[in-house]
Amino acid sequence: MRREKVVLVTGAGGEMGHGLIGHLASQGTQVVAIDVREVDAGLRRSCRDAFVGDICDAGLLERINAQYEIDAVYHLAALLSTRGEFAPETAHHVNVGGTLNLLRLAAEQAGSHGRTVLFMFPSSIAAYGMPTLDAKRGNRTVTEDQFTHAHTMYGVNKVAGEELGRYYQDHYRKLAKDRMSRPVDFRSIRFPGIISSDTVPAGGTSDYGPEMIHVVAQGRPYECFVRPDTRIPFMTMPEAIQALVGLAAAPKDRLSRTVYNVSSFSPTAADFERMVRREFPDAQVTFVPDLGRQAIVDSWPEECDDSAARHDWGWSPTYTFETAFGRYLMPKVRARYGR
Ligand code: SER
């Protein structure tokens, strides 16, 4: 019996999963979803199949391996940077152990159907670790190869995932006689903070941006957990999905690296406040920095150099900070909360 050809998406029920699966389904792709929780009914309708389970569960991955022929994996599941600092070993288990399991599944699939399996891995701004706030301010824009000594377990795990992917692509089972060359075509993007009009993030440290928008739009006061002058890059969810599918579609011989920065805009927390006040003049925003979370955001760069992504696969952002609010966020957020 032939196995059905599918694309596997882990962390399917998360923020990025929602956007990505909608896009893949609209292209006619057969998606098999995995998430630790049952995915919502709307998302389920866009999937060929959906499994509730843990990416660390070898039995679950074995069942999927037996049932489906996987052409591509979008490995989105992860425990984010704030949550990870409360349980670093669990974060490592899920973030690195889970990634290893998925890479191994992809390599096994490649071995059994004889074709390279595309492996898309969202990495993060958290992969960076600016040693001090002065270093952050003195090195405004960083390239992919600078300052990659991350301060969070999540960031360390993302760097490990990037390296594991490169290993599976170029060196996996180097000494084995029956080794397949390039079982996995590994491609990764270091995403900035992401803002969605449809979902609110959980467990991240860039959450203050999207939280401020969604909380204020509901008419509730928002206590921002970083200083007003805090600056890191952000982008909208549609831009993040556009980046993922853009990199996935690029011819391999155009790619000079396995890991790419993408960038869109870099507002301060005060810029977020100014924008939400402009949209909702009765907004109640206060700044009460949480020193721990502040230190994490202070270790992330102000801007990322995305010239390699622009050159190799034609990345270009859709929005500025202003147009992200005016053309994407506000129409949908207002409709959602009726304000
Ligand atoms: N948004 C993520 C976080 O804050 C970064 O990838 O953890």
The string of pLDDT tens digits covering residues 202-257 is: 899 999 999 999 999 999 999 999 999 999 999 999 999 999 999 999 999 999 99
- What 3-state class would DSSP assign to 169? helix
Q: State residue 265's pLDDT score.
A: 98
**In angstroms, rounded to a whole number, what is the distance separating the alpha carbons of residues 317 and 323?**
11
Q: Could you tell me the CA-to-CA distances from 235 to 42, 82, 242, 284 in Å, in that order?
A: 25, 19, 11, 24
Please name the residue that has the structure tokens 């599941």. 77
Q: Are 215 and 172 in contact (CB under 8 A)?
A: no
Q: How far, in Å, is the centroid of ligand 1 from the Cα of 170?
A: 28
Q: State residue 256's pLDDT score.
A: 98
Which is the closest atom of ligand 1 to the Cα of 201?
1
256: Cβ–Cβ under 8 A, 6 or more apart, which residues?
308, 312
Beta-bridged to residue 285, according to DSSP, are 222
Q: Which of 99, 72, 80 is nearest to 14 (CA)?
A: 80
Structure tokens at 312: 């190799």
What type of residue is 132?
T
Percent of the chain with pLDDT over 70: 100
Q: How far, in Å, is the centroid of ligand 1 from the Cα of 109?
A: 30
Measure the CA dihedral 199/202/206/212, to 10°. 60
Q: Are 55 and 65 in contact (CB under 8 A)?
A: no
As a whole number, mean pLDDT of residues 55-79 equals: 97
- Around ligand 1, the residues with Cβ closer than 6 Å are 80-81, 124-126, 154, 191, 193, 204-206
As a whole number, mean pLDDT of residues 247-275 equals: 98
Cα within 13 Å of Cα(248), Cβ side? 21
Question: Which of 76, 81, 237 for mutating ligand 1's site (highest number of atoms within 8 Å of CB)?
Answer: 81
Q: Are 158 and 124 in contact (CB under 8 A)?
A: yes
Question: Which of 16, 75, 79, 80 for mutating ligand 1's site (highest number of atoms within 8 Å of CB)?
Answer: 80
Which is the closest atom of ligand 1 to the Cα of 154?
7
Q: Are 301 and 138 in contact (CB under 8 A)?
A: no
Number of Cβ within a 10 Å radius of residue 186: 26
The band of 152, judged by pLDDT with boundaries at 50, 70 and 90, is very high
Q: Tell me whether residue 154 is one of the annotated catalytic residues.
A: yes
Question: Which of 154, 195, 263, 297 for mutating ligand 1's site (highest number of atoms within 8 Å of CB)?
Answer: 154
Q: State residue 326's pLDDT score.
A: 97
Q: Is the model's pLDDT at 123 over the cut of 90? A: yes
- What 3-state class would DSSP assign to 260? strand
As a whole number, mean pLDDT of residues 74-98 equals: 98
89: Cβ–Cβ under 8 A, 6 or more apart, which residues?
none
State the DSSP H helix or E strand holding residue 84, giving kind and residue range, or none if neither. helix 81-86
Q: How far, in Å, is the centroid of ligand 1 from the Cα of 3?
A: 36
Query: Mean pLDDT score of the chain, rounded to an integer?
Result: 97
What type of residue is 22?
G
Please identify which of the residues 154, 172, 222, 260 carries the catalytic annotation.
154
The band of 1, judged by pLDDT with boundaries at 50, 70 and 90, is low
Question: What is the per-residue burial (b if ≥16 Cβ within 10 Å, else e) of 105-133?
Answer: bbbbbbeeeeebbbbbbbbbbbbbbbeee
**What is the distance of C-alpha 232 from the center of its chain?**
15
Backbone dihedral region for residue 300 (phi beyond 0: left; psi -120 to 50: alpha; all else: beta): beta
For the stretch 282-339, pLDDT in tens is: 999 999 999 999 999 999 999 999 999 999 999 999 999 999 999 999 999 999 999 8
Please name the residue that has the structure tokens 């206590």. 223
Q: Name which residue sits closest to atom 3 of ligand 1, judged by CA.
A: 204
For the stretch 219-230, pLDDT in tens is: 999 999 999 999
Q: How far, in Å, is the centroid of ligand 1 from the Cα of 131?
A: 18
CA-based torsion, 191, 194, 200, 201: positive or negative: positive
